[in-house]
Structure 1
Amino acid sequence: MLKVNGIDVFYGNIQALHGVSLEINQGEIVTLIGANGAGKSTLLKAISGLLKPKQGDIVYEGTSISGRAAQAIVKEGISHVPEGRRVFANMTVEENLELGAFLRKDKDGIRQDFAKVYELFPRLLERKKQLSGTLSGGEQQMLAMGRALMARPKLLLLDEPSMGLAPLLVKTIFRIIEEINQAGTTVLLVEQNANMALSIADRAYVIETGRVVLSGTAEELNASDQIKMAYLGGH
């Protein structure tokens, strides 16, 4: 579904990604594991069109999307839930969700997706007339995910969905990611909580200082001593 071929990405003169390659098959949950500043968010931004690779190519469903505008990439079926949630604080929950569907014209489909989002996140239904800035962190995370789903993506990019959330809420968010995936959406997940990420992923890539240093099935990485030492708090 998605092939990233040897991309280099820079912030000014600083190289953030060095020849990164990965692939995602339709229907998978793939997770990116790595320390803060390793380049995981940069990779998501390159895929969603927020950053332009200097070298290499990003191919989605057989077509190169490298360097295309972010809104064109959303139209193709890729939605990005950025780190830190980024909801529109002075708009209601419902208005935020409407924005997620702004490129769509199918009124019936949009209505169905509102119902689906409220089914996945009942809390948002209770709060639909409330200003998003007044929601808790967990509720804002739900809203950011719901808003991305309103674009009806085929591929969902999730950047640190559990950041700053209470453990119980983290479990809820991960259960919902699995539900979204089972309903047919492919997921690329960036997550500091490597244990949780590997528990739901099919495959994983480990990124260190802008390079992919390891990849394999979630089981393989879970069993790797190198990964246990570095990311899973194991010995």
Structure 2
Amino acid sequence: MLKVDQIDVYYGNIQALKGVSLEVHEGEIVTLIGANGAGKSTLLKTLSGLLKPKKGTIQYLENSIAGKPAQSIVKAGISHVPEGRRVFANMTVEENLQLGAYLRKDSQGVKQDFERVYELFPRLLERKKQLSGTLSGGEQQMLAMGRAIMAKPKLLLLDEPSMGLAPLMVKTIFSIIEEINRAGTTILLVEQNAHMALSVANRAYVIETGSVVASGPAAELQASEQIKEAYLGGL
């Protein structure tokens, strides 16, 4: 579904990604793990059109999307839930969700997806008239994911969905990620909580200082002594 081949990405003169290659197949959950500042978020921003690679190619459903504007990438079926949630604080929950569907013309489908989002996140239904800025961190994460689902993506890019959340809320968010995937959405997940990420993913890539240093089935990486030592607190 997605093929990234040898991309280099810079912030000014600083190289953030160095020759990164990866693949995501339809129906998978693929996770990127690595330390803070390793380049994981930069990669997602490049895939969603917020950054342009200086070198390399990105193929999505066999079409080149490297350097395409973000709007056309959303139209093609890729939604990005950024780190830090970025909900529109002065708009209601419902208005935020409506914004997610702004490129869609199928009003019946939009209505069904509203129902689906409220089914996945019952708490959003309870708070649909509430201003988003007044929600808890966990509720804002649910809203950011719900808003992305409203764009009807084939591929969902999730950046640090568990950041700053209480352990119970982390479990809830991860079970919803699995549910979204089971319903047919492919997921590329960036996550600091390597334990949780590897437990839900099919495959994983490890990024260090802008380069992929390891990849393989998630269970295999979870069992690797080297990975345990570096990313799983030696457990």
TM-score tier, shorter chain, comes to: over 0.9
Q: Tell me the distance in 2 between the aligned counterparts of 1:118 and 1:46.
A: 30
Aligned partner of 1:77 in structure 2 is 77
Aligned partner of 1:121 in structure 2 is 121
Which residue identity does 1:10 align to in structure 2?
Answer: Y
Q: Tell me the distance in 1 between the aligned counterparts of 2:191 and 2:147.
A: 19
Aligned partner of 1:13 in structure 2 is 13
What SS does structure 2 have at the residue aligned with 1:49?
coil
Aligned: 1:194 with 2:194: yes
Aligned partner of 2:223 in structure 1 is 223
Which residue identity does 1:31 align to in structure 2?
Answer: T
Return structure 1 stretches of 4+ with deviation > 4 angstroms.
none
Q: Following TM superposition, by how much is the alpha carbon of 1:219 offset from its aligned partner in structure 2, in angstroms?
A: 1.1
Which residue identity does 1:25 align to in structure 2?
Answer: H
What SS does structure 2 have at the residue aligned with 1:83?
coil
Q: Following TM superposition, by how much is the alpha carbon of 1:234 offset from its aligned partner in structure 2, in angstroms?
A: 1.5
Q: Tell me the distance in 2 between the aligned counterparts of 1:34 and 1:112.
A: 37
User: What residue ranges of structure 2 are gaps of 5+ in the alignment?
Assistant: none
Identity rate, percent? 81
Kindly provide the CA deviation profile for residues 62-121 of structure 1, in whole angstroms up to 9, marking residues without a partner as x.
Answer: 010000000000000000000000000000000000000000010000000000000000
Q: Tell me the distance in 1 between the aligned counterparts of 2:23 and 2:65.
A: 14
Aligned partner of 2:28 in structure 1 is 28
Q: Tell me the distance in 1 between the aligned counterparts of 2:219 and 2:112.
A: 36
Aligned partner of 2:171 in structure 1 is 171
Aligned: 1:151 with 2:171: no
Q: Tell me the distance in 2 between the aligned counterparts of 1:179 and 1:107.
A: 24
What is the RMSD computed on CA atoms of the aligned residues?
0.5
TM-score for both structures, normalised by structure 1: 1.00
Q: Following TM superposition, by how much is the alpha carbon of 1:10 offset from its aligned partner in structure 2, in angstroms?
A: 0.2
Q: Tell me the distance in 2 between the aligned counterparts of 1:218 and 1:94.
A: 36
What SS does structure 2 have at the residue aligned with 1:142?
helix
TM-score for both structures, normalised by structure 2: 1.00
Q: Following TM superposition, by how much is the alpha carbon of 1:7 offset from its aligned partner in structure 2, in angstroms?
A: 0.2
Q: Following TM superposition, by how much is the alpha carbon of 1:127 offset from its aligned partner in structure 2, in angstroms?
A: 0.2
Q: Following TM superposition, by how much is the alpha carbon of 1:168 offset from its aligned partner in structure 2, in angstroms?
A: 0.2
Q: Tell me the distance in 2 between the aligned counterparts of 1:178 and 1:136.
A: 22
